[in-house]
Chains A and B, each alone.
Chain A
Amino acid sequence: MSLEIKDLHANIGDREILKGLNLTIPKGEVHAIMGKNGSGKSTLAKVMAGHPSYEVTSGDVLLDGESLFGLEPDQRARAGLFLAFQYPMEIPGVTIANFIRAALQARLPEGEELEAVEYYKSLYAHMDALKMPRTFTSRSVNDGFSGGEKKRCEVLQLAMLKPAYAVLDETDSGLDIDALKIVAEGVNTLRSPDTGFLVITHYQRLLNYIVPDVVHVMVDGRIVRSGGKDLALKLEAEGYDWIEKELLATA
């Protein structure tokens, strides 16, 4: 059981962003991706989730062996894929409570109603754990939220929806150190043999809290190095130049 990305090529307009990307995240593992700005990390996340702006030219993404391509974004989500957005959208007038309820309702068989009391109980429990005031439930999704509040709200949705695979795109960016710990704690409690994580980050710091099984380095639309936690430490200390030099040397 794994989330498997095979030789993925994707364009935006005429420009190729993903250039043959291979990556396998077995269930139960946490993988991290690091890479320079513009290397294509968010593109990878959005292509997997099915964003209509990107064109997949070749390759495949398999969720437990089933291809995601050909499925609508909502079908992919219901199949078990979750994306925590780098830039979560603001949706005026739609409360967090109603939004998450609609997402859970969409997972129930036709004609079955979500049990409201149970729903709120679980929502409040997760909000308490993330130290989100309960008043947030009646606020519009991300509308006027601070950067950190938006990220917390992404983790709340993750916790409520319990996907098989979660892609977290810079969920740590913009968080103060306390918030980072809370969010990492939120993710860690969801770590289980039934869940796979792909954590996109710029900061080695996060990986002290969410300790990854594998760290990957992305350069120009490809995974070019994979290794342990020490790879992240080396990137933090030395930047990306050495990798690019090595790549040039072997090219």
Chain B
Amino acid sequence: MSATLDDNTIETTTPAWLAELQTAALKDYETTPAPTRRDEAWRYSDLSALKLDTFVEAKPVESEGRLINSSRGLDQTAAKLVFGNNALLHADTASLPAGVVVAPLDVAARDHAEIFRRYFMAQPVELGSHKYAALHKARVTGGTFIHVPANVEVTLPIEVFHWVEGENASVFPHTLIICGENSKVTVLDYFQSSDNQRAFACGVNDLHLERGAKLNYVAVQNWSPTSLAFHINSTIVARDATSSALSLNFGGGFVRGESLSRLDGEGSRSEMLSINPLDGARIVDQRTLQDHASPGASSDLLYLNSLDGTSRSIFAGLIKVEEGAHRTDAYQKVRNLMLSNDAEANSMPGLEILADDVRCTHGATSGEINEDELFYMQARGIRKEDGRRLIVNGFFQSLLERVESAPLREYLGIKVTERLGLPV
């Protein structure tokens, strides 16, 4: 029999301080009430999707070899890790520059305890999923610790694959990235189902950028279409540092994404991008916070949803300009491309400004495919259905123009094109 999620046992190999942390987190999870209709942070959401009692602890994967072989991303990487059902299956870190650490969490907790403790889930979870973040903290075993020391540039991307396998299996993928001063790195996380089973994924990532650092972070999420997934992200950007995060939400039945960016130093920048092709009955529920804690910082959020079938998107975003955060430049935009009359988009952009001399723009738009664009395509012989897909693809590809690295942009473009069922 598999243990249930509430089973109160903690891995014995973890260091005592971490075990303590995890025991406390489990208590936190158990005592924190589940979200209710009245919670503002869960407005428009589908609370019935949050039932966790059928999910079980994941067993070791059966198809280890196949998963490792299927973990194919970019041609060249600086490091590659593969996790299956929370366990490390494969690690190749041979091409990393000296001093850069890419390690599974348990190794990092042992070998880099001091820095690990300082950053590991140190941020409060403010966007509604405190309870599920606590569950993650209590249960996490697999995940990646990445530390790039000051002034080091990792030119090739680092890739991490997180697989889930088996009916009702639960995984807790974790990504902790610490970018030292003036360092530079690109990290891609892939979240994938090994089979078509319903699974539960509860992932957290913490991105820390020290002064002048530059991080490109990409999440390619492709859980099975019946899966329940939480992805809780926090990004802390110090002075003159630049974070650029992009999520491609290709899969999942109900996906709750929470993303917080804290602009924590003058000249810091954070870009938050998301591509969500929704079809069937899938729901993507995203909450974001652009927290401007320092003057002269900028944040830029652009989320794109295409909605087909009976799918739903929920977006609630807040730009918060704290006292003293003068000369803030913040932008927030959600665009919904409605492909079906039965799909629904709820967008709630928000602003809270406690400083002067700020520039903030926010907005949400919903529109349908432009009939004249479609006619233009048809007038070239392209079938209506293919024309629609080309237009949806174009809608998303325009966002990818923001990806700085040309090979990465092209690669992600192919991913999106493939997801939409178009030839590449």
Contacts and interface: CB of A to CB of B under 8 A. Distances in A.
Contacts of B66: none
A82 B380 CA distance: 7
Contacts of A83: 379
Interface stretch (A90-98, A193-201, A212-220): A90-98
Interface residues of B, number: 25
B378 A91 contact: no
Contacts of A105: 423
B391 A51 contact: no
B55 interface: no
A73 B394 contact: no
Interface stretch (B7-15, B180-188, B382-390): B382-390
Nearest to A138: B410
A94 B391 contact: yes
A99 B398 contact: no
B376 A106 contact: no
Interface residues of A, number: 31
B371 A107 contact: no
Nearest to A107: B381
B372 interface: yes
Contact of A99 (B380, B384, B395, B396): B380
A107 B381 CA distance: 7
A32 interface: no
Given A73-B375, A106-B386, A94 B381 contact: no
Nearest to A95: B397
B323 interface: no
Contacts of B391: 91, 94
A51 B377 CA distance: 11
Contacts of B387: 74
Interface in B32-47: none
Interface in A76-92: 77-78, 82-83, 85, 88-92
A178 B391 CA distance: 33
A50 B378 contact: yes
A88 to B, nearest CB: 7
A92 B394 CA distance: 6
Nearest to A100: B380
B416 to A, nearest CB: 10
Interface string B398-424: 100000000000000000000000010
A94 B375 CA distance: 15
A91 B377 CA distance: 9
B375 A88 contact: no
A109 interface: no
Interface string B339-369: 0000000000000000000000000000000
B372 A93 contact: no
A77 B381 contact: yes
A140 B394 contact: yes
B380 A157 contact: yes
Given A72-B378, A74-B378, A85-B376, A99 B390 contact: yes
B397 A103 contact: no
A173 B119 CA distance: 63
B394 to A, nearest CB: 3
Contacts of A161: 380-381
B376 A89 contact: yes
A93 B393 CA distance: 7
Contact of A73 (B379, B386, B396, B423): B379
B398 A103 contact: no
B394 A91 contact: yes
Nearest to A140: B394
Contact of A94 (B378, B379, B393, B423): B393
A72 B395 CA distance: 25
B373 interface: yes
Interface string A147-188: 000000000010001000000000000000000000000000
Given A94-B394, A140-B394, A74 B384 contact: yes
A85 B371 CA distance: 15
A13 interface: no
Contacts of A74: 377-384, 387
Nearest to B396: A93
Given A89-B373, A89-B376, A140-B398, A103 B381 contact: yes
A89 B372 contact: yes
B275 to A, nearest CB: 11
Interface of A: 49-52, 72-74, 77-78, 82-83, 85, 88-94, 98-100, 102-103, 105-107, 113, 140, 157, 161
Give 3 nearest A-B pairs by CB, closest first: A93-B394, A93-B397, A77-B381
